[in-house]
Amino acid sequence: MKKPVILLALGIITLASCKKLEEIAQNATTIDKNVEYNEEIEIPNVPHLGTFPPGGLQIPFPKFGAPTYIQDFVAQNNTTADLILSVNVNKIGIKLIQPDTSKFDYVDSLWIYISTKTKPEILAAYKYGIGKGLKDIPADVVNQDIKEYFKEDSIYYTVKGHYNNWPDSNTKLQLYGTFKVKASPVKTSN
């Protein structure tokens, strides 16, 4: 009678040990990398149509696309798109490139949205209470997994601002940041 109980206990311990070893192997081989990006945005010359209303206006920049470099990431890291565990926006911000003397004095809040050809627009980052005299605005990141967006060839960005004045003519911006990508080259069994 004791022999079957001992064998059953050993069997359970063996299965638990295999599962634990598999988990240790998974964690030991997890790829954890930052994928950096820098994209330029040109604000079209909009004719100044008079003064802004006292409360300002919320206006989006035109949507623009950028490659995710998913194929490069999977090739360089010996993984596949199915083995990507998570992707989070780690850092995102906007920097004024031109005109040289320009500052972000005309905007007091920003929202940065992402979308793809098949995925809806979601908020990725925002910044409220933007002070005067700034040329670089690091945004506050929304904590969410965007791996399904990263798995596509391109991500589209929409930057919306709450303006209290017109931007300078020929304004060029740089959208910069990093995606924190976790992936595994080891398939796990369920």
In a domain, 176, yes or no: yes
**Residue type at position 135:** K
Q: What is the β-pairing status of strands 136-138 and 64-67?
A: unpaired
**Is residue 2 included in any domain, yes or no?**
no
In a domain, 122, yes or no: yes
Q: pLDDT, tens digit, for every residue of 27-82?
A: 557 889 999 989 888 876 666 666 777 888 888 877 888 888 888 888 888 899 99
Reported pTM = 0.78
| CATH number of the domain that residue 175 is part of | 2.60.120
In a domain, 165, yes or no: yes
- The answer as to whether 35 is a domain residue is yes
Query: Is the pLDDT at 143 greater than 60, yes or no?
Result: yes
Give SS3 for 188: coil
Q: Find, among 186, 114, 125, the residue nearest to 150 by Cα.
A: 114
Q: Cα separation of 181 and 105, whole Å?
A: 34
Inside any domain, residue 16 = no
Q: What SS3 state is found at 139?
A: coil
Beta bridge partners of 93: 138, 176
Length of the chain: 190
DSSP state of 104: S
Domain-located, residue 133: yes
Tens digits of residue pLDDT in 163-184: 888 777 788 889 999 999 999 9
Structure tokens at 168: 């300078």
In sequence order, the 6+-apart residues with CB closer than 8 A to the CB of 59 are: 160, 161, 163
Give the sign of the dihedral formed by CA 173, CA 57, CA 46, CA 132.
Answer: negative
DSSP 3-state of 166: coil
For 72, the domain range is 31-183
78 assigned to some structural domain: yes
The total of structural domains in the chain comes to 1
